[in-house]
Amino acid sequence: MNPTHSRNLSRGFLAFACASLLATAGATAALAQAVPAPKPEKASEPAVELSPFVVKEEVTDSYRARQTVVGSRTAKDLASMPTSITVITAQQIKDLNAVEVSQVLAVGVSGVTRNQTITDDVNIRGFRTAQSLRNGVTKTSFKRNPMFDVERVEVVKGPGALILGNNSFLGGGVNFVSMRASATPGGSIQTTLGSNSSLRLAANVTGPAVKSEDLRLNYRLTVGGQTGDRPKEIEDQEDQKFLGGGLAFYFGNNISLFVNGYYYKDDGYFYWGDFLDVSGTAPTLKTLAKAKLNQYSGEKFSAGRKKDAFSRNQDSFIDVTLLAKLTQNGNIRAYYFSSNLVDRRRIVRGITMRADNYTLDRQDIPLVIDNYTHNVQIDYLHRYATDFFALDTTFGVDGASSFSRQGQSVNAMPALDTRSTSFPNDDAYFSVPRPGAGLANLQDTGSKPTSFSYYFQENLSFLQERLVLVGGLRWFQPGGTNENYVTKVITNRPDTQFRTHKYGVVVKILPNLSAYYTDAQNIFLQTGFTDKFAANDQLGPPLDNQEGKLSEYGLKYTYEVSNKVSLFATMANFDMELTNVRTFGDLGNGVQGIIQSRQDKGKGWEYDLGMRLGAGDGNFDLIATYFDGESAIAADPTVQAVDFVPRKYSFLGKYSWTGGALKGFALGGSIMDQTAKRNGNYLIDFPRLINLFATYRWNKHWETQLNIDNVTDERYIVAIAATGLVQTADMQVARLSVKYSW
């Protein structure tokens, strides 16, 4: 069948299904109107005194957040922190109907770009952030993180060693925040029907379970799932199942205990499935070529068959937070986090496109991954305040222990003639036991890293936070072992103690305008040696530790007249670098080998502007971002860093009718565009991406929403690992949701 006709047919089916779903929802709504809703109970619950470690709950439909915890371990107003932090609110997630975090990061924050489609790997200010955080703690994931129970997403920019207790974040970190267990009874059920026969279900219920003078207990339960076809035959279909929940215990007014967790199963196969056009002269670092998909690398092309490949992932975590008020001015926080990941795959992929521009060399990769992590944090906050100044002193310890095992084999498969849709040699290949699939893996390694760190941070403010001085130090003591299960060799991990810092100052120039400056640092331990005489002889000096540095200043502005007129904006200038970069260069005798180069650099400007304006019968909400920067690699200052995007802008806006004949309607959309980025010896140029959405809410309980992503139906490259190993983004995707809330 012609692909265009097939796509039109599927869209016609989707339109018919959407119309049917709307009709059903309308009939159900009419029935619901005939049955009077029960009267809500009068609020009788005493007010809960919030811990300084808890962000104030904001029930709002705007794009603005006021507080965060991840920037300092204690709840702080964003305007009073010498740190660049962007909060993606629940309303932004809802309007975009985001099922993966890249959808909100594309238009909600400056300086963040996408590195991959199969994980939440992003680039922040020119530096890669391959791992994400869950409730402030690093959480390993080899697929995209689930969004079923995410209340907000926080983006911390710059080295986060001091505040996160983890020295691996240089560009910054992306933190997923779980929904709270609330004392207000409520819930929602949402069904989403989308392109490629996609069906997504998400349900959340929360409320009080126990109310007494000595104990109040709130609960949350979240369930979800997603299924649907994928364009490529090898990907078969999406298959996600999610179960999560939370508990909030309040023992009087001085002690509280919070528990969050989930179990997530994702059996969908989604991998790098395309390849490049390699006709013409091969590009080099000095003669970059614009990446172009091969004519045979169509939307439905597969490098193998679905019966030969699979990807099964089970991911779970639980965290427990104990908060206690010890004295009038002293509060303590104890936190425990446990994460378990079991990942089993057999990947069939392309790797190299031959010079004839149609023969694809392939690989068969059986893969086994196990990852278990335990993390403990203890923080103590003491506040000393006078009429002239206030001193907040925070100190604490972090301890982490994990086990990671990865076994894999990279087996060469018969090459594929991509002009044909058949796989003539695959039956014979897969009928024979291979390393990792019937035979022992060729590579099988494990690591048991440990980390202990301790820190203190001082926050000294004068004249009701007109002037704020922030400073902190953290000492790290790493350790652990690595083991090669094939050779039975066990080696110790580096155990050198090192120190990181973060300093900053905030000056409130006007009641609504503040200026800040910050200086932060990360340190990465490196093992191994440079080369001396020949490539890979590793006879040169040992690799020195890397140091990530940040120098940043900026402005933060907020102006709020009423709930109909408000403005918030940030501007930041940053200068970041990574020293002692392991790279390849001239050994002095014309031979290329491992050297230690001086630094990778990234610097530039960021602008974020948000507003709410009451106009006519409703409100207009907008977030606009702009990034302008430059970078250079250590090996050659004239070469742009990998995946660094020099310029990017985005807009997210909507108009919501709160009165008049169109009350309940909202119309909005987003646009994002960025300049080309270097990926290896190629330049990847994203198209201008336009998304649209429309929402209608009626009867206080029912809501329907239509989202159309990638309106112009562009098929474009996101990442390149090799000429035969390329990632592309989805073409136009439509999603229709019906939601019932109570």
Asked if residue 295 has pLDDT above 60, the reply is yes
Task: Walk across the sheet containing 127-129 and list its strands.
Answer: 112-114, 122-124, 127-129
Residue 596, pLDDT score: 87
Q: What SS3 string covers 580-627?
A: EEEEEEECCCCCEEEEEEEEEEEEEEEEEEEEEEEECCEEEEEEEEEE
Q: Can you name the CATH fold of 58-741?
A: Maltoporin; Chain A (2.40.170)
Residue 30, pLDDT score: 37
Per-residue pLDDT tens over the stretch 316-340:
999 999 999 999 999 999 999 999 9
Where on the phi/psi map is residue 475: left (φ > 0), alpha (ψ -120 to 50), or beta? beta
Per-residue pLDDT tens over the stretch 709-734:
999 999 999 999 999 999 999 999 99
Per-residue pLDDT tens over the stretch 631-640:
988 878 888 8
Cα 254 from Cα 290, distance rounded (Å): 61
Residue 22 pLDDT level (bands cut at 50, 70, 90): very low
Asked if residue 150 has pLDDT above 70, the reply is yes
Asked if residue 13 has pLDDT above 90, the reply is no
Asked if residue 479 has pLDDT above 60, the reply is yes
Domain ranges of the chain: 58-741
Say if CB 478 and CB 166 are below 8 A apart: no
Say if CB 689 and CB 652 are below 8 A apart: no
The residue ranking higher by pLDDT, 80 or 100, is 100
Residue 33, pLDDT score: 37
Count of CB atoms situated within 10 Å of the CB of 215: 12
Say if CB 435 and CB 441 are below 8 A apart: yes
Cα 381 from Cα 369, distance rounded (Å): 39
Across the strands, what pairs with 152? 177
Residue 733, pLDDT score: 95
Say if CB 71 and CB 80 are below 8 A apart: no
Q: How distant is the alpha carbon of residue 192 from its chain centre?
A: 22
Residue 361 pLDDT level (bands cut at 50, 70, 90): very high
Q: Is 214 helix (H, G, I), strand (E, B) or coil?
A: coil
Cα 115 from Cα 122, distance rounded (Å): 5
Per-residue pLDDT tens over the stretch 505-531:
999 999 899 999 999 999 988 888 999
Asked if residue 137 has pLDDT above 80, the reply is yes
Cα 498 from Cα 189, distance rounded (Å): 49
Residue 72, pLDDT score: 66
Q: Mean pLDDT across the stretch 276-299?
A: 93
Lowest average pLDDT, out of 28-32, 235-239, 629-633, goes to: 28-32
The residue ranking higher by pLDDT, 156 or 74, is 156
Per-residue pLDDT tens over the stretch 558-597:
998 887 899 999 999 999 998 888 888 888 888 888 988 8
Asked if residue 41 has pLDDT above 70, the reply is no
Residue 60 pLDDT level (bands cut at 50, 70, 90): low
Asked if residue 557 has pLDDT above 50, the reply is yes
The residue ranking higher by pLDDT, 294 or 7, is 294
Say if CB 112 and CB 104 are below 8 A apart: no
Residue 2, pLDDT score: 40
* Mean pLDDT value across the chain: 89
Cα 353 from Cα 359, distance rounded (Å): 6
Q: Mean pLDDT across the stretch 233-246?
A: 93
Claim: this prediction has a pTM higher than 0.75: yes
Asked if residue 35 has pLDDT above 90, the reply is no
Q: Is 95 helix (H, G, I), strand (E, B) or coil?
A: helix
Give the β-pairing of 310-325 and 689-698: unpaired
Lowest average pLDDT, out of 5-19, 258-272, 377-391, goes to: 5-19
Residue 585, pLDDT score: 82
Per-residue pLDDT tens over the stretch 165-177:
888 888 899 999 9
Residue 58 pLDDT level (bands cut at 50, 70, 90): low
Which two tokens mark 319? 């965290």
Asked if residue 486 has pLDDT above 50, the reply is yes
Per-residue pLDDT tens over the stretch 699-708:
889 999 999 9
Which two tokens mark 334? 């104890």
Amino acid at 248: A
Q: Mean pLDDT across the stretch 190-218?
A: 95
Residue 582, pLDDT score: 85
Asked if residue 103 has pLDDT above 50, the reply is yes
Residue 50, pLDDT score: 64
Q: Mean pLDDT across the stretch 276-287?
A: 91
Residue 59, pLDDT score: 57
Asked if residue 120 has pLDDT above 60, the reply is yes
Cα 521 from Cα 533, distance rounded (Å): 34
Q: For the range 167-170, what are the long-range contacts, defined as Cβ-Cβ under 8 Å and sequence gap of 24 or more?
A: 167/476, 167/500, 167/522, 167/523, 167/524, 168/131, 168/138, 168/522, 168/524, 169/129, 169/522, 170/127, 170/522, 170/548, 170/576, 170/578
Per-residue pLDDT tens over the stretch 369-410:
999 999 999 999 999 999 999 999 999 999 999 999 999 999
Residue 57 pLDDT level (bands cut at 50, 70, 90): low
Residue 61, pLDDT score: 76
Asked if residue 28 has pLDDT above 50, the reply is no
Say if CB 101 and CB 143 are below 8 A apart: no
Cα 230 from Cα 686, distance rounded (Å): 22
Percent of the chain with pLDDT over 90: 73
Count of CB atoms situated within 10 Å of the CB of 27: 10
- DSSP type of residue 80: G
Q: Mean pLDDT across the stretch 7-27?
A: 36
Amino acid at 709: D
